[in-house]
Amino acid sequence: MATALSESPVLRLHLDDNVAIAKRTIRPDTLIDLEAGHSPIAVKERVEIGHKVAIVPIPRGAAVRKYGQIIGFATTDIQPGQWVHTHNVEAGALSLDYAFASDVPPDPAPLTGRTFLGYRRANGRAATRNYIGIVSTVNCSAATSRFVAQQFDRRILDDYPNIDGVVPLLHKTGCAMQYGGEDHHQLARVLSGFARHPNIAAYLVIGLGCETCQASFLVDNYGLTQLQAPGEEPSNRAWGRSRLVMNIQEVGGVRKTVERATGMLKEMLPEVNRIERVPIPISEIILGTNCGGSDGSSGVTANPALGYASDLLVAHGATSILAETPEIYGGEHLLTRRAISREVGQQLVDLIKWWESYTAFFGAEINNNPSVGNKKGGLTTIYEKSLGAIAKGGTTALRAVFRYAEPVTEKGFVFMDTPGFDPASVTGLVAGGANVVVFTTGRGSCFGCKPVPSIKVATNTPLYEHMIDDMDINAGRILEGASVEEVGREIFEKIVSVASGERTKSEQQGIGDDEFCPWSIGPTL
């Protein structure tokens, strides 16, 4: 006998949808009511939270719709009440109308007066944290850079309460690439972007000496002329250009380099510690958005709530960055309509075409996605994943498109080309200037990204409760009756609070030393 529920366990997102989303796990033979006047539907099999159930007959070859958009095509006849997923749906090919700049939203009503407590750098930029950075130019200097950072544990830093830590920026590349080629310049953008990031009060560049990614290349081409002073220009000459770069081969080996670098950084501690937080307009927040370990609830709860927070930031004159180009695939037409010009919209489409060519060169496809965990969470195709991911960008006009790790110079809602791999994506966002990151997750990503705080937003309540030590906000409340606007305001206030110094769950656990991951696009030579 079918079991009736007083409250529908499913959610229909759009009148054009032929599937509904499970708000909680549904047992076989449960009756679901969609709306008054329609007969209840008996669910024919177990449907997990975030997964889809058919609410009308879907013939083989017909489009499957969620959010009012096509997310795939039925590979067999699907009856009402049946579970809809990878066993009966495939991505197929879409024909999208980009309609460039055809639906540009008006600027939101400006909001003024709000501030956060941040660090004001000598060059005018606003910081949310106060770190010292050790920039390793190549994997060959990674261990040495880590040895230096290990000299600065809390026993030393407890005497400098305004310093958040000494973070080593280590990676697996830096050589075996074309000198002056795209990979070389992209890595240089990342390294210089972190070194000059406002959350890095002072930095030291450590190289091996013979690598392709020479430290001198950063100095000559990317503005690393001196260590960035946290306040007034320091009188200590050790902060000047002559001491900026340290190559292991020139110093005389690892031990000597560690000793010299440690001594130099100890000289910096009092100066870095001297700066204090001051009120800074919210307009100087640069938000990086990312989703990882997504599930079928991501585009229903956490992502649209983050989009609402993004809109609030834009109204305050701040910047919000959407990224992960492979995860807007199939939904990019929604962004091209919002682009402020045909040129901006075309830049986005050009990125999509580049990714199609890039993946094809390796015999792969962009829609070789969602991941295993995404599929377990209810995401069936890349189109479904992308449509939900785009919701992080809110509803305001798309004002600019930036290359990976390129300095973000435009206010408002913008896009950055990054891969969908979370560490590489967030590395690009931070290199571009993001001083706060909000990371939505439905499966449970525990991501951290020193030197920038990462706020974790859970898409469903079971995840939030199961991983309470890692999740900062529960957007699953939306499935239980809370509004997107309510949770969006909660995210916005958390952004302001974290920017002012509140530590995120990932910061409390010390996560973020290992997630620095520059994206390498070319061959290893």
To which residue do tokens 């095509």 refer?
73
Q: At what angle do helices 422-431 and 182-195 cross, to 10 degrees?
A: 70
Confidence tier at 368 by pLDDT (50, 70, 90): low
- Over residues 144-192, the pLDDT tens digits come to 999 999 999 888 999 999 999 999 999 999 999 999 999 999 999 999 9
Name the percent of the chain lying above pLDDT 90. Answer: 89
Q: What six digits make up the tokens of 9? A: 């366990």
Q: How confident is the model at residue 230, as a pLDDT?
A: 43
Mean local confidence (pLDDT), 97-107: 97
Residue 380 near residue 104 (C-beta atoms within 8 A): no
pLDDT digits (tens, 9 = 90+) for 234-262: 434 344 433 578 999 999 999 999 999 99
Range of lowest pLDDT (27-41, 78-92, 169-183, 506-520): 27-41
Q: Give yes or no for a contact between 53 and 32, defined as CB atoms under 8 angstroms apart.
A: yes
pLDDT surpasses 70 at 1: no
DSSP secondary structure string for all residues of 78-92: B-TT-EESTTTEE--
| Tokens read off for 451 | 């030197």
In the numeric block, the tokens 């075409």 are attached to 353
Question: Exposure of 4 by Cβ count < 10 A (0-12 exposed, 13-18 middle, 19+ buried)?
Answer: exposed
**191 CB neighbour count, 10 Å cutoff:** 30
Strands (E), 19-139: 19-22, 30-32, 41-42, 52-54, 63-66, 69-74, 83-84, 89-90, 115-120, 126-127, 131-136
Contact 132, 166 (CB under 8 A): yes
Q: How confident is the model at residue 225 (pLDDT cuts 50, 70, 90)?
A: low
**Using the 8-state DSSP alphabet, how is residue 452 labeled?**
B
What is residue 392's three-state secondary structure? Answer: helix
- What is the C-alpha to C-alpha distance for residues 286 and 313, in angstroms, rounded to an integer? 9
Residue ranges covered by each domain of the chain: 1-93, 131-274, 282-508
The model's confidence at residue 36, banded by pLDDT at 50, 70 and 90, is low
Q: CATH assignment of 1-93?
A: 2.30.130.110
Quick one: CA torsion of 12, 18, 20, 25, rounded to 10 degrees?
170
Cβ contacts of 419 within 8 Å, gap of 6 or more: 324, 325, 326, 425, 519
- CB within 8 A of 305, min separation 6: which ones? 457, 475, 478, 484, 487, 488, 490, 491
Asked if residue 247 lies in contact with residue 144, where contact means CB atoms within 8 angstroms, the answer is: no
Spatial separation of the C-alpha atoms in residues 149 and 266, rounded to whole Å: 11
pLDDT digits (tens, 9 = 90+) for 329-352: 999 999 999 999 999 999 999 999
Residue with tokens 């997964």: 51
- pLDDT band of 366, cuts 50, 70, 90: confident
Signed CA dihedral, 440, 437, 371, 415: sign only: positive
Digit-coded pLDDT (tens) for 300-313: 999 999 999 999 99
Residue 108 DSSP code: P
What's the CA gap between 386 and 366, in Å, rounded?
Answer: 11
CATH, range 131-274 = 3.40.1400
Are the CB atoms for 420 and 371 separated by under 8 Å?
A: no
Ranges assigned E (strand) in 131-229: 131-136, 165-169, 200-207
DSSP code string of 398-449 = EEEEE-TT------EEEEE---SSHHHHHHHHHHTT-SEEEEEESS-----B
